[in-house]
């Protein structure tokens, strides 16, 4: 369900049944002359909408204003929007803390932008990972008081941790595509363009392929919805493994 359309009794049901609460996290960034600047975020939104057809899930309003960076293109006339990681971390902490206060304990931010180095991290995902950790510590301290971890009630912490019970899993950040996925990973090339043709064809205009001059868009003209559908199937498997109720 889309969070903004939920009634309080539906929110309470989602909390009681521990539904995954997913934040589509992304950027607005130049993706060549042939594709929309929202590509990275649109891919996450459209995939979560497909996932929702088979599982109970809360989809939060998307956050588009991540750290696109100007690595691909200067912003003038290109459309890239850059908000730095430090600002994102403080915003993200407030957002996650608020979601914890509501009662959600199964929160996931899903990101596609700059995720080829996800283990090491990039500014947007690192900021939201930091935000999640900060929010969890702040929430636990408010709820349980200082010294909560050292208290006798926590004596079984490591045993429960080993069994998977871990409040640091309350907020997680995941890439839309796993590193193991056999799908072309690129920026505005055949991989991303095919994905958009499959998920959101209005974000691609083939009549502008020939306006592209950059190396990273050279393969875009070979994109197809068929290839994109293969990516969609792989991402669905990845989401099934990642977003467990
Ligand atoms: Zn992209």
| Ligand 1 centroid, distance to 185 Cα (angstroms) | 9
Bridge partners of residue 2, in order along the sequence: 59
Domains present along the chain, CATH in parentheses = 18-182 (3.40.50.10310)
- The pLDDT, as a whole number, for residue 157 is 85
Q: What percent of the chain has pLDDT over 90?
A: 88
pLDDT digits (tens, 9 = 90+) for 194-214: 999 999 999 999 999 999 999
DSSP assignment letter at 149: T
C-alpha of residue 170 to centroid of ligand 1, in Å: 27
| pLDDT higher than 80, residue 191 | yes
Average pLDDT, integer, range 42-66: 98
Which residue bears the tokens 């977003």? Answer: 243
End-to-end CA distance of the chain: 14
Coil, strand, or helix at residue 38? coil
Q: Are 235 and 100 in contact (CB under 8 A)?
A: no
Backbone φ, ψ for residue 59 (5° rounding) = -105, 115
Mean pLDDT of 56-67: 98
Measured in Å, residue 217 CA sits from the centre of ligand 1 at 11
Looking at residue 27, the DSSP 8-state letter turns out to be -
- Whether the CA torsion 203, 205, 210, 211 is positive or negative: it is negative
User: Which region among 34-43, 46-55, 153-162, 209-218 has the lowest average model confidence (pLDDT)?
Assistant: 153-162
pLDDT value of residue 145 = 93
Residue spans of beta strands (DSSP E) within the chain: 21-25, 58-59, 107-111, 171-175
d(CA 77, CA 88): 24
Query: Could you give the strand order of the β-sheet that contains 58-59, starting from the edge strand earlier in sequence?
Result: 58-59, 21-25, 107-111, 171-175
Mean pLDDT is lowest, of 8-17, 29-38, 176-185, for 176-185
Confidence tier at 32 by pLDDT (50, 70, 90): very high
- What local confidence, expressed as pLDDT, does residue 245 receive? 61
Q: How far is the CA of 187 from the centre of ligand 1 (A)?
A: 5
Q: For residue 223, with 0-12 CB atoms within 10 Å meaning exposed, 13-18 middle and 19 or more buried, which class applies?
A: buried
- Residue 156 predicted with pLDDT over 90: no
What band does 164 get if pLDDT is binned at 50, 70 and 90? low
CB-CB contact of 156 with 115 (8 Å): no
How many angstroms does the Cα of residue 128 sit away from the middle of ligand 1? 18
- Overall average pLDDT of the 174-196 stretch: 95
Cα 210 to ligand 1 centre (Å): 19
**CA-based torsion, 149, 98, 46, 38: positive or negative:** negative
């Amino acid at each position: 369900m889309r969070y903004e359309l939920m009634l309080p009794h539906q929110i309470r049901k989602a909390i009681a049944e521990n539904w995954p609460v997913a934040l589509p996290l992304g950027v607005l960034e130049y993706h060549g002359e042939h594709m929309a600047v929202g590509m990275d975020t649109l891919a996450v939104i459209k995939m979560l909408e497909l996932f929702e057809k088979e599982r109970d899930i809360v989809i939060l309003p998307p956050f588009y204003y991540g750290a696109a960076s100007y690595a691909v293109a200067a912003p003038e006339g290109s459309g890239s929007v850059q908000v730095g990681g430090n600002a994102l971390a403080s915003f993200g902490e407030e957002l996650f803390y608020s979601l914890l206060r509501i009662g959600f304990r199964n929160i996931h931010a899903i990101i596609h932008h700059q995720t080829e180095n996800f283990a090491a991290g990039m500014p947007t995902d690192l900021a939201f990972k930091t935000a999640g950790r900060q929010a969890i510590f702040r929430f636990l301290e408010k709820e349980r008081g200082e010294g909560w971890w050292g208290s006798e009630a926590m004596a079984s912490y490591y045993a429960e941790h080993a069994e998977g019970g871990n409040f640091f899993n309350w907020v997680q950040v995941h890439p839309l595509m796993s590193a193991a996925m056999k799908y072309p990973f690129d920026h505005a090339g055949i991989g991303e363009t095919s994905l958009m043709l499959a998920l959101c064809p209005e974000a691609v205009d083939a009549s502008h392929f020939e306006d592209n001059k950059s190396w990273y868009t050279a393969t875009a003209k070979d994109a197809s919805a068929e290839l994109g559908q293969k990516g969609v199937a792989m991402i669905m498997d990845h989401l099934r493994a990642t977003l467990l109720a």
